[in-house]
């Protein structure tokens, strides 16, 4: 049954795990995961920069994979485990990447920072000591207009060393 009247589009109950917590929310099929996170669940840490997969500001981790949440439907998240920026830091502290971004001044306006930190956290899970080029290739899908990327690369390197200190 398709809603002819846009207002009463059929909502679906979606059950997912978000930042380690079981969550239920209502979503119209057309609402993206990004829209559900921000406007339904008020998790506004995930940002929208383009809505078509070209800027990375909306990146989240879904079932262990980095994805653009603007190109995933909310209803597709049923049964999935999702990590957003709000779930990166441990209780009462910061993730090494968050500390490194602050110490290296790797953000200016900060709108792209959540996306960069989520993306970089996935890189460091796969590659404990990435090179400058490997960091740049992995983060190529995250656009930043303020920093010129230099200090972001330095922050990821510092975080890698904090997580796996050189012998």
Partner 1 sequence: MDDFEYVRPGSVGEAVALLAEKPGRARAMAGGTDLLVQLKVGRRTLDRVVDVKGIAELNEIHVGSDGGITIGAAVPCHRVYDHPAIVAGFPGIVDSASIVGGIAIQGRATLGGNLCNGAPSGDSIPSLAVVGAVAVIAGPSGRREFPVSEFCTGPGQTVLGADELLVAIRLPAPPPRSFGHYLRFIPRNEMDIAVAGAGAWVALDEAGVVTAARVVLASVAPTPIEVPDAATAIIGTRGEATALEAASEAAKAAARPITDMRGTQAQRRHLSGVLTKRALAGAIARARGEHVPGAHEAHRVHASATH
Partner 2 sequence: MTTTADRPATSSPTRVISINDGANIIVSHGDYAVIGTRPVRHDGVDKVTGRAVYGGDTRLNGLLFGKVLRSPHVHARIVSIDTSKARAVPGVHAIVTNADLPTAEDREVNLGEGGGNLKYMSDNVLASDLVLYKGHAIAAVAAINVHVAEAACALIEVEYEVLPAVHEIKAAIAEGAPLVHPSLTTKSLGKDTGVHSNITNHARLQIGDPDAAFARADVIAEGEFTTTMVHQGYIEPTNATAMWYADGKVTIWTSTQGSFAARDSTAQILGLPVSRVKAVPQEIGGGFGGKINVYLEPVAALLSRASGRPVKLIMTRAEVFQATGPAPGSYSKVKFGATKDGRLVAASAEIYMESGAYPGSDTGAAMRCLYSPYKIDDMRVDGYDVLTNRPKTAPYRAPGAPQAAFASEQVIDDLARKLGMDPVEFRLLNAAHEGTRLVNGPLHKKVGGIEVLEQTKAHAHYQSDLGTPSPGTKRGRGVAIGYWFNIGLPSSVAISVNADGSVTLVEGSTDIGGSRASIAMQAAEILGVRAEDVRPSVVDTDSIGYTGVTGGSRTTYATGLAAIEAARHVIAQMTARVAKVWSVSPDEVSHDHGAFRAGTRSMSFKDAAGHLDETGGPITGTASLDPQGHGGAFATVTCDVEIDVETGKTQVLKWTIVQDAGKAIHPSYVEGQFQGASAQGIGWALSEEYFMNSKGEMTNTSLLDYRLPTAFDVPMINTVIVEVPNPGHPFGVRGVGEASIVPPMAAVANAIRDAIGVRMHALPMNPGAILHALGTI
Residues 86-125 that bind partner 2 (CB under 8 A): 86, 88-90, 93-99, 101-105, 107-114, 117, 121, 124-125
113 binds partner 1 (CB under 8 A): no
Q: Which is nearer to partner 2, 13 or 105 (CB)?
A: 105
Residue 108 — φ and ψ, nearest 5°?
-120, -75
Distant-in-sequence, close-in-space partners of 92: CB < 8 Å, separation ≥ 6: none
Q: By rule CB under 8 A, what string of x and - marks binding of each residue 16-55 to partner 2?
A: ------------x-x-------xx--xxxxxxxxxxx-xx
Question: Do residues 33 and 72 make contact, with C-beta atoms less than 8 angstroms apart?
Answer: yes
CA dist 73 and 38 (Å) reads 13
Question: Do residues 3 and 20 make contact, with C-beta atoms less than 8 angstroms apart?
Answer: no
34 binds partner 1 (CB under 8 A): no
Question: Do residues 88 and 97 make contact, with C-beta atoms less than 8 angstroms apart?
Answer: yes
Question: Do residues 22 and 31 make contact, with C-beta atoms less than 8 angstroms apart?
Answer: no
> Closest separation between CB of residue 98 and partner 1, Å?
20
Residue choice 16, 18, 25, 32 for contact with partner 1 (CB under 8 A): 32
149 binds partner 2 (CB under 8 A): yes
14 binds partner 2 (CB under 8 A): no
């Amino acid at each position: 049954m398709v809603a002819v009247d846009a207002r009463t589009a059929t909502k679906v109950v979606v059950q997912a795990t978000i930042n380690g917590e079981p969550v239920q929310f209502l979503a119209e099929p057309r609402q993206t995961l990004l829209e559900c996170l921000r406007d339904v669940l008020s998790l506004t840490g995930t940002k929208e920069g383009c809505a078509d997969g070209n800027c990375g500001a909306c990146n989240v981790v879904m079932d262990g994979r980095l994805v653009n949440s603007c190109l995933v439907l909310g209803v597709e998240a049923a049964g999935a485990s999702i990590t957003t920026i709000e779930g990166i830091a441990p209780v009462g502290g910061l993730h090494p990447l968050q500390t490194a971004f602050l110490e290296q001044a790797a953000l200016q306006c900060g709108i792209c920072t959540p996306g960069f930190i989520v993306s970089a956290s996935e890189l460091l899970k796969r590659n404990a000591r990435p090179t400058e080029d490997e960091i740049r290739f992995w983060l190529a899908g995250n656009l930043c207009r303020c920093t010129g990327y230099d200090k972001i690369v330095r922050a990821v390197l510092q975080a890698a060393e904090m997580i796996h200190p050189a012998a």
